[in-house]
Amino acid sequence: MSLAVDIVKRNQRKQSFDQDKLRRSLQLACLSVQTPEGAADMAARNACHHILIWLENKPEITSHDLRRKAAEALAPFYPEAAYIYQHHHQIL
């Protein structure tokens, strides 16, 4: 499913929403807290599904809002990974 949603980055540049990029970044957050690969993939796909529903009828969102909502969608499965995902700029 491809959505025509623009993501407004911190520097105000716009980028098209990329579901695969979101899924990969959520999966990497899960793997960073030692989640098994299959479980990380399933959690990332489930969180992406929630994000796709949230994005319906939204032509534009901020990267901050996307990160916040994605972390909220991931938290019920792997709260530590959700924290890492949402705060990685501050941690690294």
pLDDT digits (tens, 9 = 90+) for 42-80: 999 999 999 999 999 999 999 999 999 999 999 999 999
CA distance linking residue 22 with residue 34, whole number of Å: 19
Q: pTM here?
A: 0.90
Strand order in the sheet with 14-16: 14-16, 6-8, 60-62
Q: What is the pLDDT of residues 12-35, one digit of tens each?
A: 999 999 999 999 999 999 999 999
Q: Where are the domains of the chain?
A: 6-91
| CA nearest neighbour of 17 among 71, 54, 42 | 54
Continuous segment of H or E residues that includes residue 43? helix 37-55
